[in-house]
Chains A and B, each alone.
Chain A
């Protein structure tokens, strides 16, 4: 009985929070129920990523059973491309304002690698920079529209920073380990996705309209497509990057 009561209490709490979140939604012109989804395909010869010599960092080296490589081009088994940042470049109502999430976006330095390799974040949203390795890393953000920064993390710790301006992309790097690179897309809205192991992306909650969708890859550059969605419509828009 007591158990049932507590479940009910939790459910009620969730409902209240959800309601509160729903009522806090900004003006309807910025939000909607349309979806753009798709896959990022890859054609041509799959390039080999350079191997990384981690002999200077035994602690990192121990985290791998095979020689670690850079993540410049990650082609999935199904022939799609991972680490592509897909986002709404333009088309949102000019007046639309999107609330900055309080929860942060995590980037972890683990095995002398940035995890994840490509990230998205909203303007003002905290970027939590974690060092799980416990060895010296420095993290340098090389923004142009955002102020750059460079902080030292010689131990297991987390630092937090925010970004003040939209910028695709802000490169992140470690100077102690020249191979460590990551890319951060900073946007004023939440309409972005990053392709993962199946090469797909989904951008949800779009208001009706015509959008320029851009797909960005660190080696192959950008591609754009124009997509028009209405109401709760879901449209598919694939991209294809070819080997260079």
Chain B
């Protein structure tokens, strides 16, 4: 920066400190414009008065932010302090993953976003209180060695000793002993974050984001700040970074990409029927996000299961699907009954009869058409229709069993006859279900049961219910249609053809080269003459 430039900046900064009339006028304009943006885009959830009580709010958990209290989760300031403008802008720009708050950076101009920030600060007197000093914490740089076993071991050690597991669970899936009791400041039920799904972290998925949340806490939630521990030398700043690195290591390197087709390789030997069979380690896993069922009443806006990991293999005559999904409780679980009650109390219901908390089981359903469609036509994704049913496998945790049947719309499930149920083996451990469903590719009941064929695109969809979250019947998480493809065994020609092709190419190439050399040997003048003739 040149000297005059620096001087100019200094003057500007000095001027900016004085509340001279011009700046006041500008601020007023900002909030007026900000109000217009707010009314149009934000009030539907956050409410006209900014109290987080817009018309859509009662369908949401977590609730939209109440701006009147000026309590913000995602900050760079100490617990209890107001956020910086940058902190609030970040949440506006990037949105809050895993919630209904979208990213606005591509929908609103920068000016609009700054104006709306100025306006939402008017909802709380705290922002006008000059005794509030908004100072971001000083954050150190991440120490190296993030992925080394030694670093992760230190991280794990402090994850245990500072008590992360009390809420987040031994394996980090939000299933700790205190998890069912957690509430926000206004008393809404809140899940401890599943640390295996960092793409859903509100304040960002990276190690530095996690470190910042540990330093600042998430105000308004049970997540405290751990900064005092560094001040009191219970642990060092580097050790807190190790906790962040350990937490980061629980999630995949990259957020899972949703792919349309599950490839089921053909395997030799026996079908892996147990969820803990070592054969599954060699099979690719596909992630399918699930969303609340909001089509059929009573609708469900707060599903407990965010998605399901699916793997598939087949043998000459059978198919095995392994489903794994994170679920904080092995339902039914009385420890979660009060939590479930709070969920049902806080969500607006469009049910004719109020649902009370009860001991529901966990459930999952895998859906196929009755036969592989010839074209693109598929049955209605939401469990078919009375005239065009779908073939489903349904599994429940209590009694722990699976059934096969035809669904003719939500709420109509006809179990097929004896012997139709798929094989099912399940285990629950540390906030995760693992379930393997198996069936013969071909069955006798060709009218109702899908006949699996290799080399075809077989439509498949998934549904999940978290019983401890009050989910049953229409209160469930749903997916779109995807495809399952049973890969055909590789014919020998696949291996032979490239070799033949290479040999042919080599032979032809040598032939051309030999002929060219022979021509060249016949005389350069001839070649030149040829060009003249042209």
* Any A CB within 8 A of the CB of B166: yes
**A151 an interface residue at 8 Å Cβ cutoff?**
yes
- Chain B's nearest CB lies how many Å from the CB of A58? 13
Residues of B within 8 A of A164 (CB): 131
Query: A153 contacts B79, CB within 8 Å?
Result: no
Q: Does A204 sit within 8 A of B, measured CB to CB?
A: no
A155 touches B (CB below 8 Å)? yes
| B163 and A175 contact, CB distance less than 8 A | no
A150-B79, A150-B224 known; A175 vs B181 contact (CB < 8 Å): yes
Contact flags (1/0) for B223-237 with A, using CB distance below 8 Å? Answer: 111111100101000
Q: Mark A147-162, 1 if CB is under 8 A from B, else 0.
A: 1111111110101010
Q: Give the complex CA separation of A42 and B534 in angstroms.
A: 120
* B261 at interface, CB cutoff 8 A: no
Instruction: Report if A177 contacts B (CB, 8 A).
Output: yes
Point out the residue from B79, B132, B178, B229 that lies within 8 Å of A154, measured CB to CB: B229
Q: Does B217 count as interface, using CB distance less than 8 angstroms?
A: yes
A32-59 Cβ-contact flags toward B at 8 Å (1 or 0) = 0000000000000000000000001000
Inter-chain CA distance A135–B69, complex, in Å, is 31
Q: Does chain A have a CB within 8 A of B208?
A: no
> In the complex, what residues of A have CB within 8 A of residue B162's CB?
136, 152, 154
Within 8 A of B (CB), among A130-171: 135-136, 138-142, 144, 147-155, 157, 159, 161, 164
Most chain A CB atoms below 10 A, which of B162, B163, B167, B217? B163
B219 contacts the other chain (Cβ, under 8 Å)? Answer: yes
A66 and B229 CA atoms in complex are apart in Å by 33
Measured in the bound complex, the distance between the Cα atoms of B178 and A157 in whole Å is: 22
Query: How far is it, in angstroms, between the C-alpha of A152 and the C-alpha of B222 when the chains are bound?
Result: 10
Contact: A151 with B185, CB < 8 Å?
A: no
B132, B166, B220, B223: which contacts A148 (Cβ < 8 A)?
B220
Size bracket, chain B contacts: 35 or more
Quick check: B185 and A148 within 8 Å, CB to CB?
yes
Complex formed: what's the CA distance from A135 to B185 in Å? 23
- Give the residues in chain B near A149, CB-CB below 8 Å: 78-80, 219, 225
A151, A152, A177 — which one has the most chain B CB atoms within 10 A of its CB?
A152
Answer yes or no: A225 CB below 8 A from chain B CBs.
no
Cα A139 to Cα B226 in complex, Å, equals: 11
Given the complex of chains A and B, what is the CA–CA distance between A48 and B223 in angstroms? 31
Any chain A CB within 8 A of the CB of B126? yes
Distance A147 CA – B228 CA, assembled complex (angstroms): 17
- Do the beta carbons of A144 and B225 come within 8 Å of each other? no
In the complex, which residues 26-78 of chain B have their Cβ closer than 8 Å to any Cβ of chain A? 69, 71, 78
B228-A148 in contact (CB<8A): no
Nearest residue (CB) in A for B178 is A176
Q: Which residues of A contact B178 (CB under 8 A)?
A: 175-178
Measured CB to CB, the closest approach of chain B to A135, in angstroms, equals: 8
Residue in B closest to A157 when the chains form the complex, CB atoms = B232
Q: Quick check: is B161 within 8 A (CB to CB) of the other chain?
A: yes
Contact of B225 among A142, A150, A175, A178 (CB under 8 A): A150
- What's the nearest-Cβ distance from chain A to residue B109, in Å? 32
B321 at the interface (CB under 8 A from A): no
Interchain CB contact under 8 A, B222 and A175: yes
Say yes or no: A147 contacts B163, CB within 8 Å. Answer: no
Compute how far the CA of A103 lies from the CA of B334 in the bound complex, rounded to whole angstroms.
46
> A: which residues have CB within 8 A of B?
56, 135-136, 138-142, 144, 147-155, 157, 159, 161, 164, 175-178
Q: What are 13 A-B pairs with beta-carbon distances under 8 A?
A: A142-B185, A144-B69, A150-B217, A150-B224, A151-B79, A151-B225, A161-B80, A164-B131, A175-B167, A175-B181, A176-B167, A177-B178, A178-B181
Known: A148-B185, A150-B80, A175-B178. 17 other contacts (CB 8 A): A136-B162, A139-B224, A140-B185, A140-B222, A140-B224, A147-B80, A148-B220, A149-B219, A150-B217, A150-B221, A152-B225, A152-B229, A155-B229, A155-B234, A157-B228, A175-B183, A176-B167
